[in-house]
Structure 1
């Protein structure tokens, strides 16, 4: 856990979320069920971050519709972290138990996201800052695992109906299924993205000394679809 928390502490600023105090890395991996083999996909060389990975949420992201983004890669040392790999493989096991996916590769998008607040009254915001869906395949499942939460308030998770996407959780038209807050390391949840919308509220520095942060591992899993 300590190594993984250090990796989150060193995350670069999300280049597509200026002023939100959000820090992020992202990489792709592929799992071959018939071999029980998990492989990270090499990133694209980049002069600033070493390597980067393409990321797109299609039309489901209201702030970047159909926009292909390029995000800093998860470095090799963290890709080999035992806890990260254990969580990733656990998520894969849950999906394989729900669907007959043993004859198709499973595509994984792995996000490391930290919301960091250094000053009193400062907010850190996760985007899109509304109820939303992650997009992609109708078979996409999204898992979230809290890695650490220190000296912050807020960060409430909200799960609602797909028709609530684009709304704020407090909107009277939002049809909310559940509200909860991840508080302890390895707290988590999972959603079938096609069937719900979801949101995490901003975090603000708490009353304790020093900066505050909320670090979460997010894994999106979907069956690989050939393009030929």
Structure 2
């Protein structure tokens, strides 16, 4: 994989509209239409099949709050300017400094399925993420490879129990960069993302609503959190599907 070359001037302009606030403020929100254009320049195909894979996730059994409202799959990759390489399956680990609820233990989640792990939609997202973090990392600080984790999350809400996208509350992830891509919202209300500076002052908020709405944060500069979701129609299934991609120096 050579360094991405955007196929259209529009895609390049969109990249700039993403990177400028990210560099200045430590976070950015890119709406679906713009994100789709940027991803198409990176080879996006088969979004519907990609999104359908969220129907086959495993229950997260590591929730210290006892909740069973989160389903997920997990995988790790190494990203370089020459290749996107999937790593052997491994546990997800966060220290309690970053995750006071579920941190401090190795958490083994079901792996991302092989077809999804090499899906053109995922590859487009990873190529775009690599382009952004390369552009925003000074040359002397760029690693030879980025350790990249991907999380497929489904947060389910019931009439008697809200779903919590960030049960640990306002937090940082202990990485360098975080990308959150909306995959699908089905019959849910709320789910507002808020961004806070290192002094915990709120500096932004938005809601990922449409497929491909995307948030990007510099995890070294800001905290982020998402409000609980609840069903709109209590008689129907309600859930929020997102892809979370994190990158840190290897």
2:71 is aligned to: 23
Given candidates 178, 187, 199, the residue that maps to 1:151 is 187
Query: How many Å separate the matches in 1 of 2:142 and 2:54?
Result: 32
1:48 is aligned to: none
Kindly indicate whether the alpha-carbon contact (under 8 Å) linking 2:101 and 2:168 is maintained by their aligned counterparts in 1.
no
2:132 is aligned to: 94
2:244 is aligned to: 218
Given candidates 58, 62, 72, the residue that maps to 2:100 is 62
1:199 is aligned to: 225
Query: How many Å separate the matches in 2 of 1:201 and 1:109?
Result: 23
Query: How many Å separate the matches in 1 of 2:55 and 2:188?
Result: 15
Instruction: Provide Cα deviations, 1:188-228, integer angstroms capped at 9, x if missing partner.
Output: 1111101111101111111386211110011101121xxxx
Instruction: Provide Cα deviations, 1:3-45, integer angstroms capped at 9, x if missing partner.
Output: 1222111111112124241111111100122x2x0000122xx
Alignment of 1:61-80 (within 5 A): 61-80=99-118
Give the Å deviation of 1:124: 0.9
Segments of 5+ residues of structure 2 without an aligned counterpart are: 1-46
Alignment of 1:58-207 (within 5 A): 58=95, 59-99=97-137, 100=139, 104-117=144-157, 119-136=158-175, 140-164=176-200, 175-207=201-233
Instruction: Provide Cα deviations, 1:30-68, integer angstroms capped at 9, x if missing partner.
Output: 0122x2x0000122xxxxxxxxx3111222111134322
Query: How many Å separate the matches in 1 of 2:80 and 2:233?
Result: 47
Give the Å deviation of 1:106: 1.2
Give the Å deviation of 1:129: 3.4
Q: Which has the higher helix share?
A: 2
Cα RMSD (Å) of the superposition? 1.8
Give the Å deviation of 1:80: 1.6
Q: Which has the higher strand share?
A: 1
Kindly indicate whether the alpha-carbon contact (under 8 Å) linking 1:20 and 1:124 is maintained by their aligned counterparts in 2.
no
The normalised TM-score by structure 1 is: 0.81
1:172 is aligned to: none
Segments of 5+ residues of structure 1 without an aligned counterpart are: 44-52, 165-174
Kindly indicate whether the alpha-carbon contact (under 8 Å) linking 2:151 and 2:245 is maintained by their aligned counterparts in 1.
yes
Kindly indicate whether the alpha-carbon contact (under 8 Å) linking 1:121 and 1:204 is maintained by their aligned counterparts in 2.
no
Give the Å deviation of 1:93: 0.8
Query: How many Å separate the matches in 2 of 1:78 and 1:128?
Result: 26
4+ residue runs over 3 A deviation: none
